[in-house]
């Protein structure tokens, strides 16, 4: 059986188990089943970016199934299986949550990584403003992870005058999304198969989000520190975000900085994203983002001016919402730099145009 069919078989098996679980713990009252999917066509004017090619690419889609069960008043179990178009299946998260109180919940297992605005809903397209999340933070930068393998505490405290504070504290192992390019820039000529999955062991991190009396306005800060498994050096990451979501408007901004001792590199990224509804159906969205990776001052080789170390993007999108669970999107992006552009094996970065234009059309749905 080939990989795509094996993946479908896994999903079918999970679905097949649900009736048995339902009869044991009452599906109607205690078990919640949800899912979401995404498909997108992309075409560029030359380079390959976000899976889109010069000839046009249709093979870009995924689907995920999430199940949570309130086993008892204090205990909840949750998990999510994610199937990509190429047939790969991943377990995004699987954890147990025990509520000690409204202000303190203990989570253990493969727990969603609490960092910034969107890490806990990375693949849910109906919660995005454009068809893809900003790559300056959520791309293969080695910053955010699908989940933390370990323990986490989460809670929320409401104060007078409509202030509220939610928090997450976690410890364990992180495997941030990473393509190895930062390391290759510091060690030119390193073979791709020499790169191992990025792993931060003994990671400690936290996130705090402050909700203000201004309806829809919140601020947050996220941070973590981890030890790279490969060489035992540390990486420190700090990020901040602000969001305003009220009425027809949804405005999001995030910035981060990371210092990694292993390669003595520093990387920084930020984005500003905004969307406005016109009536119930139409929505216009825009994005500006920037990212750069540099050697720590006074250390390591210099790759200043290397287009693979930089990324700047402007995007404009138009969305049509059939319902809150179904949206069709189209967008145009202008990209400068090659940080997130796919470099063909038979080409050198200098042979590519440093500018890329991308057109996309796609659909996101959820239930």
> What pLDDT, in 10s, does the model give residues 207-220?
999 999 999 999 99
Rounded percentage of the chain residues whose pLDDT exceeds 90:
70
Span between the terminal Cα atoms of the chain, in Å: 30
* pLDDT for position 23: 37
Place 160 in a pLDDT band, splitting at 50, 70 and 90: confident
Residue at token pair 């069709």: 328
Distance of alpha carbon 60 from alpha carbon 244, whole angstroms:
30
For the entire predicted model, the pTM comes to 0.87
| pLDDT tens profile 315-340 | 999 999 999 999 999 999 999 999 99
Residues 6+ apart with CB under 8 A from 197: 175, 178
* pLDDT for position 78: 97
More confident residue, 25 or 80: 80
* pLDDT for position 302: 59
Residues 6+ apart with CB under 8 A from 30: 69, 70, 71
Does pLDDT of 28 surpass 70?
Answer: no
Does pLDDT of 311 surpass 50?
Answer: yes
Strand partners for 141: 178
Domains of the chain: 3-366 (2.40.160.10)
* C-alpha 99: how far from chain center: 26
| pLDDT tens profile 266-296 | 899 999 999 999 999 999 999 999 999 887 6
Other CB atoms within 10 A of residue 277 CB: 15
- List the helix and strand counts (H, then E) for the chain: 4, 18
Give me the chain's average pLDDT, please. Answer: 87
Distance of alpha carbon 64 from alpha carbon 37, whole angstroms:
6
Distance of alpha carbon 104 from alpha carbon 106, whole angstroms:
7
């Amino acid at each position: 059986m080939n990989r795509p069919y094996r993946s479908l078989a896994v999903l079918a098996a999970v679905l097949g188990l649900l009736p048995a679980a339902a009869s044991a713990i009452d599906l109607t009252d205690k078990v919640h089943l949800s899912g979401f999917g995404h498909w997108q066509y992309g075409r560029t004017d030359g380079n390959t970016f976000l899976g889109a090619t010069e000839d046009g690419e249709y093979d870009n889609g995924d689907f995920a199934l999430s199940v949570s069960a309130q086993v008892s008043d204090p205990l909840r179990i949750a998990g999510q299986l994610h199937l990509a178009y190429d047939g790969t299946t991943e377990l995004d998260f699987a954890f147990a949550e025990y509520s000690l109180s409204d202000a303190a919940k203990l989570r253990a297992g493969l727990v969603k990584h609490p960092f910034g605005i969107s890490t806990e809903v990375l693949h849910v397209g109906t919660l995005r403003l454009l068809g893809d999340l900003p790559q300056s933070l959520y791309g293969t930068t080695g910053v955010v992870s699908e989940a933390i393998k370990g323990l986490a505490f989460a809670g929320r405290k409401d104060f007078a005058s409509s202030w509220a504070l939610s928090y997450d504290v976690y410890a364990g192992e992180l495997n941030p999304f990473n393509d190895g390019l930062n390391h290759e820039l510091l060690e030119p000529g390193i073979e791709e198969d020499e790169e191992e999955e990025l792993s931060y062991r003994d990671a400690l991190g936290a996130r705090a989000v402050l909700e203000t009396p201004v309806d829809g306005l919140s601020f947050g800060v996220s941070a973590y520190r981890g030890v790279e498994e490969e060489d035992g050096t540390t990486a420190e990451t700090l990020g901040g975000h602000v969001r305003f979501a009220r009425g027809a408007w949804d405005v999001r901004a995030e910035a981060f900085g990371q210092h990694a001792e292993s390669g003595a590199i520093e990387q920084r990224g930020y984005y500003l994203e905004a969307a406005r509804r016109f009536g119930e159906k139409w929505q216009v969205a825009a994005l500006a983002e920037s990212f750069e990776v540099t050697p720590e001052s006074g250390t390591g080789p210099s790759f200043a001016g290397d287009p693979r170390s930089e990324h700047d993007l402007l995007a404009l999108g138009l969305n049509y919402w059939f319902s809150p669970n179904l949206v069709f999107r189209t967008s145009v992006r202008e990209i400068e730099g090659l940080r997130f552009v796919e470099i063909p094996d038979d080409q050198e970065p200098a042979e590519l145009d440093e500018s890329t234009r991308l057109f996309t059309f796609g659909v996101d749905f959820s239930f």
